[in-house]
Amino acid sequence: MDKIKVGMIGLGTVGTGVLKTLAAFKQIEIVKIAVKNLNKKRDINLSKSVLTDNPYEVVDNPDIQIVIEVVGGVEPAFDLIQTAIKNGKHIVTANKELLAKHGEELFSFAEKHNKVILYEAAIAGGIPIIMPIKTILTGNKITKIAAILNGTTNYILTKMDVDGASYQNVLREAQELGYAETDPTGDVEGFDAAYKIATLSTIAFNKRINIKNIYREGITKIQAEDMKYASEFGFKIKLIALAQLDENDNADVRVHPMLVKKTKSLAHIDYVTNAIMLDGHPMGEIMFSGAGAGEFPTASSVVGDVLAIATELKTTDYPLPMMRCHHGEAAKMIDISQTYNRYYLSINVKNNVGVIASLGKSFAENEISVSSLLQKGLMSDNTANIIVITESCNEQNLQNAIKMLKNDNCINKINSLIRVME
């Protein structure tokens, strides 16, 4: 049996896992692997002749049929993938940022050259989600996605909840354990989750979601006190990637912290685990959960994509039609200011007569109803924190109410504003 010739760009944690996993499949031959450092010690037996520090030796190699890209980032990955496609190669990638920013261009380019780009590993590591949506769930109209797509932030929020620790202390611990990068911005500010929900919602809604129109807010402002108060109200705080369609099929796509009811399954996805909840018709609500990153979970998705392409190569001249891009229409996006949500507010107030009246006035003038209110007594500085959970209201109205409160002499500051998942 002729072997399928495969090339790789990248041999870090994921690339090493891919190589180890592919070793069990004798129909696959790794021809060339591009790495940054040829002299780096690696935990794998590999002939030096297979390695190169020039990635174009992979994408220009006429023998290679499938290129695996696991280096991440936009450049040089974008040019390398385009070059590989132009040279007649199918692509398997785990590059969520590249797909979020240039997916439309790459998928169109691949279709023009009758090549396939598969990217199961780019959304949730080892959790299979793209192929299920494009195959067994294709008869459904998916109208909502609520997902935990970043293990670093989920670990930090879980530890803050369990240990009552501050964000900064848990971040340092996560960095020491290798769960967070030295520069954690991509994770803690929500960029990683935004890239993933952009592509995932594009697939689920069959409309292109522009990454530039996704509202993004990270976890850096979450305080240990928020965790405690949320728990008293029956919630946990999670960084949620949310995408939903309204009755006119307009798309509301965003990433930000949310209070999630403890009765919801997503509330109990802890530490580095990821989860994706889909809701639609006729299936109703279903959830996928598992390892969202790591050497072998991510390798599982990459290898699955490689084998899916390899199986098709000798049977058809138009492989995997269901997995190709079929969404040419751009979604009409809803701005965050026009959304309706419930809100958790932590407000630090002075020990003055009329504080509650001030809150009531600002809420009433902006058509905001209060669902729950909590005050725990005075602190040593003669101030108090008042915790409010609102009924569903318009985001713009809520922001207007906050402006009023900030200008009120009774109010010291708004400690926290966190949306509540319905």
The model's pLDDT over 210-238, given as tens digits with 9 standing for 90+, comes to: 999 999 999 999 999 999 999 999 999 99
Q: Which of helix, strand or coil describes residue 344?
A: strand
| Mean pLDDT for the stretch of residues 268-283 | 97
| Mean pLDDT for the stretch of residues 155-183 | 93
Asked whether residue 202 carries a pLDDT value surpassing 90, the answer given is: yes
Rg, C-alpha atoms of the chain: 24
> What's the confidence (pLDDT) of residue 47?
85
Domain 336-420 top-level CATH class: alpha beta
Asked whether residue 42 carries a pLDDT value surpassing 70, the answer given is: yes
| Mean pLDDT for the stretch of residues 392-412 | 95
The DSSP code sequence of 187-251 is: HHTSHHHHHHHHHHHHHHHTSB--GGG-EE--STT--HHHHHHHHHTTEEEEEEEEEEE-TT--E
**Gap between the Cα atoms of 107 and 350, Å rounded:** 57
Question: What are the Cα distances from residue 256, in Å, to 7, 160, 203?
Answer: 37, 17, 21
> What's the confidence (pLDDT) of residue 179?
86
**Gap between the Cα atoms of 53 and 47, Å rounded:** 14
> What's the confidence (pLDDT) of residue 41?
87
Dihedral sign computed on CA atoms, order 12, 50, 94, 287 = negative
Please tell me the pTM assigned to this model: 0.95
Could you say which architecture CATH assigns to the domain 4-125+295-323? 3-Layer(aba) Sandwich (3.40)
The domain locations on the chain are 4-125+295-323, 130-291, 336-420
CATH ID of 130-291, from 3.30.450.30, 3.40.50.300, 3.30.360.10, 2.40.50.1020: 3.30.360.10
Asked whether residue 209 carries a pLDDT value surpassing 80, the answer given is: yes
Question: What are the Cα distances from residue 323, in Å, to 197, 378, 413?
Answer: 18, 59, 50
Q: What is the mean pLDDT of the chain?
A: 95
**Gap between the Cα atoms of 143 and 249, Å rounded:** 8
For residue 2, give the DSSP letter: P
Asked whether residue 180 carries a pLDDT value surpassing 80, the answer given is: yes
Asked whether residue 116 carries a pLDDT value surpassing 70, the answer given is: yes
Instruction: State the catalytic residues.
Output: 196
- Model confidence at 45, in pLDDT bands (50, 70, 90)? confident
> What's the confidence (pLDDT) of residue 292?
87
28-34 and 51-52 strand pairing: parallel
Asked whether residue 150 carries a pLDDT value surpassing 70, the answer given is: yes
